[in-house]
Amino acid sequence: MPRKELINWGIKPLNIGKPARKRRRSLGIRERQILYERAKGRCEACGKKISFSEMQVGHKRAYSKGGATTLANSVCLCYKCNKLQGTDSFETLKKKLAGTYRKRSKKSKSRKTRKKTPKLFDIRLSKIKI
């Protein structure tokens, strides 16, 4: 009796455990390569030369804020910049690097000294001639 027939039970590939269109967090290897080439092997935030294995993929628009994991929304970052970015957007990271990023403090609002210029409603009823 041929054994092969016993083994073939017609098992269907399981689809269980495959969540419907779950957002992915990182790029595929091919996309990472493209990203690395696009960035010319440099961190797009600080300009440091990095090797492909050092590259960290950052989100321009933070993943936590709905940013998609696509090439268009990705930036090539070094380890340090990726850490610095955290869950912020790429724009915020650049501000952090430039040293202009500050969490809004009360001091940033300059007091506006408003001088009330009296509005002149110079209507003199007494002068109206009837």
Give the interface with Zn ion as residue ranges (CB under 5 A).
43, 45-46, 48, 78, 81
CB of 58 to Zn ion, least distance (A): 9
Task: Assess contact for 58 and 90: CB atoms under 8 A.
Answer: yes
Strands 74-77 and 56-59: antiparallel
Q: Which is nearer to Zn ion, 39 or 118 (CB)?
A: 39
Read off the tokens for 22.
Answer: 């779950």
Q: Which is nearer to Zn ion, 24 or 83 (CB)?
A: 83
CB of 61 to Zn ion, least distance (A): 18
CB of 33 to Zn ion, least distance (A): 19
Q: Which is nearer to Zn ion, 48 or 60 (CB)?
A: 48
Task: Assess contact for 78 and 48: CB atoms under 8 A.
Answer: yes
Q: How far is CA 111 from the centre of its chain?
A: 33
Phi-psi region of 69 (alpha: psi -120 to 50; beta: other; left: phi over 0): beta
Q: Which is nearer to Zn ion, 28 or 47 (CB)?
A: 47
CB of 70 to Zn ion, least distance (A): 21
